[in-house]
Amino acid sequence: VVPEVIRGLGMSSEIVAVVNPGRSGLHESVIHALCATKQIQQLIYISCKADNANTLQNFVQLCHEGNFTLRKVSPVDLFPHTTHTELVLLFKR
Label residue 10 exposed, middle or buried (CB < 10 Å: 0-12, 13-18, 19+).
exposed
Catalytic residue among 4, 14, 35, 86: 86
Rounded to an integer, what is the distance from CA 45 to the centroid of its chain? 3
Q: Is residue 86 flagged as an active site residue?
A: yes
Catalytic residue among 28, 35, 48, 65: 48
Q: Is residue 48 flagged as an active site residue?
A: yes
DSSP string, 37-86: -TTEEEEEEEES-TTSHHHHHHHHHHHHTS--EEEEEEEE-SSTTSS--E
Q: Which residues are catalytic?
A: 48, 86
